[in-house]
């Protein structure tokens, strides 16, 4: 079993209190997003938190927040019965604009970065299409832990920006397949679902949606990843790497096709309905 609900709440509260202590009066809001609100935490789900501040962090704040998160976050993969992995992104309010692309995070912490942080690196501002997707999903689903509602601080990301972000995030995601097969395959399935429906859902829900729409062998691989995500099986990918690569290529193609088709349809709709065009 993973840490129980009380322990998870304690982790969220600890991180929220740490953000308030370290960031002080620059902190505008803290939101819980990701799996915890999209469909419920699964056995290996991270606790995803997003903070909004009114100005960029100082070097002292970066060091202090990093030191605290290294202590409270569980190492990946999270130990049975231990604390969960924590992911924290901090955005400056003035950077949060639908026209600011790709989105800029002032500070990002995640367990995939722990080795670099323990070697002396400090989280610094970066831009990434993935951050745009995080903001789009958080705007529609996040729960406020401190500050105002998500719509008060998070931008509304237009569908064409979401598609652009998915398209530009695909290469890095695809390159990270080996060693992170389950997460990459489920993320690709979720991207496909979003490209087709304009909705964000949990990874297991996206996989269940995708399975009936792909060939049987690929469907079996995706369902295996889904069941592992739910904790129903312990996944071993060494003997399934070929299957994982083939499925990843298929999902990559489906995401690209769906995004392109939706963009063309929107363009044709706009051209056939002049009243919908921007002045």
Catalytic residue positions, numbered: 87
End-to-end CA separation in angstroms for the chain: 56
| Residue 7 contacts residue 86 (beta carbons within 8 Å) | no
**Ramachandran sector of residue 198 (left: φ over 0; alpha: ψ -120 to 50; beta: rest):** left
| HEC string for 124-136 | CCEECHHHHHHHH
Q: Closest Cα to residue 277, out of 51, 238, 267?
A: 267
Phi-psi region of 195 (alpha: psi -120 to 50; beta: other; left: phi over 0): alpha
CB 137 within 8 A of CB 154: no
């Amino acid at each position: 079993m993973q840490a129980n609900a009380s322990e998870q709440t304690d982790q969220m509260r600890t991180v929220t209190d740490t953000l308030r202590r370290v960031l002080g009066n620059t902190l505008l809001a803290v939101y819980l997003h990701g799996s915890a609100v999209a469909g419920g935490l699964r056995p290996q789900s991270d606790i995803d938190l997003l903070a909004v501040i009114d100005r960029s962090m100082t070097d002292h704040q970066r060091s202090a927040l990093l030191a605290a998160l290294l202590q409270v976050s569980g190492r990946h993969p999270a130990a049975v019965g231990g604390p969960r992995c924590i992911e924290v992104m901090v955005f400056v309010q003035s950077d949060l604009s639908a026209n600011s692309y790709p989105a800029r995070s002032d500070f990002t912490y995640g367990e995939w970065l722990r080795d670099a942080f323990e070697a002396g690196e400090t989280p610094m501002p970066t831009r990434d299409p993935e951050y745009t997707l995080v903001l789009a999903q958080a705007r529609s689903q996040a729960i406020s832990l401190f500050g105002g509602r998500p719509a008060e601080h998070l931008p509304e990301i237009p569908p064409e920006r979401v598609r652009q972000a998915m398209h530009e995030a695909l290469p890095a995601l695809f390159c990270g397949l080996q060693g992170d097969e389950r997460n990459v395959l489920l993320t690709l399935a979720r991207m496909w679902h979003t490209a087709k429906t304009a909705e964000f859902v949990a990874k297991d829900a996206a996989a269940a949606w995708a399975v009936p729409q792909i060939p049987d062998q690929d469907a079996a691989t995706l369902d295996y990843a889904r069941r592992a995500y739910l904790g129903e099986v312990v996944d071993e990918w060494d003997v399934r790497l070929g299957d994982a690569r083939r499925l990843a290529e298929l999902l990559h193609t489906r995401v690209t096709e769906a995004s392109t088709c939706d963009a063309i349809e929107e363009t044709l709709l706009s051209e056939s309905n002049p009243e919908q065009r921007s002045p």
